[in-house]
Amino acid sequence: MYYLVVCSKGLLSRIVLADVAGHGQSVSATAATLRELLRKHMNALDQSVLMQEINEAFRRQDDPDDVQYATAAVFGYFWKTGELIFTNAGHPRALWYHAAEKAWDWLHDETPYKQSSVEGVPLGLIAGTEYLQSAVCLGQDDLLVLYTDGISESTNQAGKELGYDGLLRLAKSLPLQTVNSPGAAGQALLLAVRDFRGGSPIFDDESLIVLQRTEDYKPRLAS
């Protein structure tokens, strides 16, 4: 499941990609809970309370035998500064294309691009959970690729798994003209994964989201 929500002033966007085990009514209930939590905390750049409540929501079950397992990548993007606050709850790490350097790497907690502080946001371990809240500043035209493990765990006809290293190699092999737009980059990467798979069947759900920082914030002048 995925969500994209924007704050009341249009300055903060929050993007969530979650991979929930199972199907049917229990997953629908989880989706509804996640949607309500995102609405509740939409105007806060700090994601720590949101992640605490998501963690508790997944843990509280009426039936103790009905274990709800989910991974989630939660992103908050502040348009004024280009800062991206991110928290990864067991989800595959995102791919990051640096447009200025024309280079791909991973968005992870220990990236050398990590910021040491963000005004009003406590970075580091979130109290009550094992999640880290980190931040980077996205460059103009940078891309972020979010995906579920159905993509990174694709296997070819010889039974070899693509894996993270293979996915990064596919991203680096994309023609430069495709990374100028998120739509073209996403389609090209999915095609590359399909070519790797060959005739091997798909064993898990696949989701892929490509995001791009398209312009700098320009404050409106009062007339």
Residue 223 lies in a domain: no
Tell me the residue ranges of DSSP E strands in 53-207.
Answer: 70-78, 83-89, 94-98, 103-107, 124-125, 132-137, 143-147
The per-residue pLDDT of the chain, averaged, comes to 88
The pLDDT of residue 26 is above 90: no
Tell me the two tokens of residue 124.
């580091």
218, part of any domain: no
C-alpha pair distances (Å), 155 with each of 58, 126, 147, 188: 30, 35, 16, 18
Q: What domain range includes position 208?
A: 2-212
In a domain? residue 195:
yes
What does the alpha-carbon distance between residue 211 and residue 142 come to, in Å, rounded to a whole number? Answer: 8
> With bands split at pLDDT 50, 70 and 90, how would you rate the model's confidence at 69?
low
Dump pLDDT digits (tens) for 97-111: 999 999 999 998 888
Longest CA–CA span in the chain (Å) reads 66
Is residue 137 within 8 A of residue 115, CB to CB? The reply is yes
CATH number of the domain at 42, please: 3.60.40.10
The C-alpha atoms of residue 114 and residue 104 are separated, in whole angstroms, by 16
Sequence-ordered alpha helix ranges (H) in the chain? 25-40, 48-59, 149-152, 163-172, 182-197
**Number of folded domains that form the chain:** 1
Helices and strands of the chain, counted as H and E runs: 5, 10
DSSP state of 103: E
Q: Is residue 105 part of a domain?
A: yes
Share of residues in the chain with pLDDT > 90 (%): 65
Residue 167 belongs to a domain = yes
Q: Mean per-residue pLDDT for 15-34? A: 78
**220 in any annotated domain:** no
Does residue 178 fall inside a structural domain? yes
Q: Does residue 117 form part of some domain?
A: yes
